[in-house]
Amino acid sequence: MIEQPIVGFRQDAEGHWIADLQCGHSQHMRHQPPWTVRPWVLTAEGRDRFIGTPIPCPLCEREQR
């Protein structure tokens, strides 16, 4: 899987957090236990810690095929 670093965060119309990636794509980063546990996304400090962290980008992966 191709990974891209997180460059920022924003919220969608429903208040869910979206990670903006260096490649220009974006990905939801929801905290919805027990399926998805990301409590760090709920605070500004937590989101700031993840700036620069590479995460898989399915759209980049599809474009490579």
Which tens digits make up the pLDDT trace of 45-64?
A: 999 999 999 999 999 988 88
How does the average pLDDT of the chain come out, rounded? Answer: 95
Residue 65 predicted with pLDDT over 80: no
Q: Could you tell me the domains of the chain?
A: 3-64 (2.40.50)
- Given a contact cutoff of 8 angstroms between Cβ atoms, the answer to whether 57 and 19 are in contact is no
Mean pLDDT, residues 31-43 = 94
Nearest one of 15, 51, 46, 48 to 30, comparing CA atoms: 15
- Given a contact cutoff of 8 angstroms between Cβ atoms, the answer to whether 59 and 52 are in contact is no
Whole-model pTM? 0.91
